[in-house]
Structure 1
Amino acid sequence: MGRSRYKIHEEHYPYFITSTIKDGLPLLSNPKLAKIFLDSFTFLQAERKILIYGYVIMENHFHAIVKGEDLAKKLRLAKSFMARKMVDTLRDGRNNKLLSQIEFRKLKHKLKCDYQVWEEGLHPKQLFNDVLVTQKLEYIHLNPVKRGFVDRPEHWRYSSARNYLGVKGLIPVTIYSG
């Protein structure tokens, strides 16, 4: 999980997580790369039994509320998988400019890889009551509104805001009911 002071301790609680693309590169504004994220989160739910209560994908980071056993390990592996797939997609698309940028930004101690897509860690914050979960869901869904990308949360395709209005989103989520 990186060198973060934030840790996942009690897995029976949901956690608010955030992960950022290295140095804020806007990789997730590319629909193909955002789809890799969506597919990975769908896999986490279906195959790894991770509950996803909410998410938003922005151009250079994501937020999510998640819960499950071995959560830290499963999320670390998912981020690693996403990074490899993103690099492969950029290679296939011959996007050498972005590839050279993520290669240049790789931390020097990362000796086993040529690229570093994500900043280290997930900065998990335990949500130990319904009020905190509700606050973080609102924060997640309002993120693109506050950034000025849309006027209403449900207008942002890359979030679970639609799911909470009873409209089919890009991926299913577990609706948090408290």
Structure 2
Amino acid sequence: MGVVGERSVGGGGVPEKLRPGRASRLRGTEFWHPMGQVGRVLAMRRYEHANSVRFLTFSCLHRLPLFRSRAAKDVFVAQLQRTRERHTFLLHAWVLMPEHVHLVLRANSESDVPTTLRTLKGGVARRLIADWRSRGAGGLERLERADGSMAFWQSGGGYDRNCRDLDEIREKIDYCHINPVRRGLVERPGDWVWSSARFWQGQREGEIACDHLR
């Protein structure tokens, strides 16, 4: 049977809940908790612009490290590639962390962003939950809603910001790539294969191709 995500396609177990809305600690290193920004973000006034570059962050339910295993990470990468092939958007950078995701992308229209995220997030959730269920993995009860359905992603949409200029876009790209280093997961950005760091370093073999800035 095993624990959700450990010996299955999903990888990584479903651990005890990390407390949402606060900075959390993994491996003794404090890291930014995007869900702690939700109250402030919702109070901000947004100005939508077609073709703007967006910095997106979304998290696993309760900030659980559902992408702890390599197998679960690979499921996400495959779905990201399928999403790129299906939808017309420019992907400038991305990073997959054990419990959250950052994307830097440019959509053709405002409506493309939620559509793209539904394809990406829905595909990942269906694949991993189906695998865990088929294997009888433990810990699935932590993903159950009150009505008995399963949730994979934290509700609320996460963090969504329009980048103001080229400098901010570059800053967000760098932020994506340094994230695993700050967490103590690797020593150098290029050592973390589940991001666009290698692409930007010119090591593109086997990686998701990103779009250069225009």
**Shorter-chain TM band:** 0.7 to 0.9
Q: Within 5 A, what are the aligned runs for 1:24-43?
A: 24-43=63-82
Q: Can you list the C-alpha shifts for 1:101-145, whole angstroms capped at 9, x where unaligned?
A: 212xx3x4xx5x611110120321111311011000111000000
User: 1:70-149, aligned counterparts within 5 Å?
Assistant: 70-97=112-139, 99-103=140-144, 106=145, 108=146, 111=147, 114-120=149-155, 121-149=157-185
Match for residue 166 of structure 1?
Answer: 202
In 2 relative to 1, CA 174–145 (structure 1 residues): closer, same or farther, beyond 3 Å?
same
List gaps (5 residues or longer) in structure 2: 1-40
- TM normalised by structure 2 equals 0.72
Bigger share in helix: 1
Relative contact order higher in (CA < 8 Å, ≥ 6 apart): 1
| CA deviation string 1:37-75 (max 9, x = no partner) | 111211121121222111111110010101223122221
For residue 9 of structure 1, what is the aligned residue in structure 2?
Answer: 48
**C-alpha contact 1:160 1:169 (8 A) present in aligned 2:** no
* CA RMSD between the two structures: 2.2
After the TM superposition, which parts of structure 1 deviate over 6 Å for at least 4 consecutive aligned residues?
none
Residues 165-174 or 14-23, more deviating: 165-174
Which amino acid is 2:51 matched to? Answer: H
Give the percent of matched residue pairs that are identical in Structure 1 and Structure 2: 23
SS in 2 for 1:158: coil
Give the Cα separation in 2 of the matches to 1:8 and 1:48.
Answer: 23
Cα deviation for residue 32 of structure 1 reads 2.2
Contact kept? 1:54, 1:173, Cα under 8 Å: no
The aligned residue for residue 26 of structure 2 is none
Q: Which blocks of at least 5 consecutive residues in structure 1 are unaligned?
A: none
Q: Deviation of residue 19 (structure 1)?
A: 0.6
Partner AA of 2:134 in structure 1: D
Whether the 8 Å contact between 2:58 and 2:158 is mirrored in structure 1 is yes
1:54 aligns with 2:93: yes
Report the TM-score, using the length of structure 1 for normalisation: 0.85
Q: CA deviation at 1:156?
A: 0.5
Are 1:42 and 1:171, in contact at CA under 8 Å, matched by a contact in 2?
no
Which has more radius of gyration? Answer: 2
Provide closer, same or farther for how the CA distance between residues 49 and 171 of structure 1 changes in structure 2, counting only shifts above 3 A.
farther
Equivalent position of 2:32 in the other structure: none
Structure 1 residue aligned with 2:57:
18
Q: How many residues align structurally?
A: 169
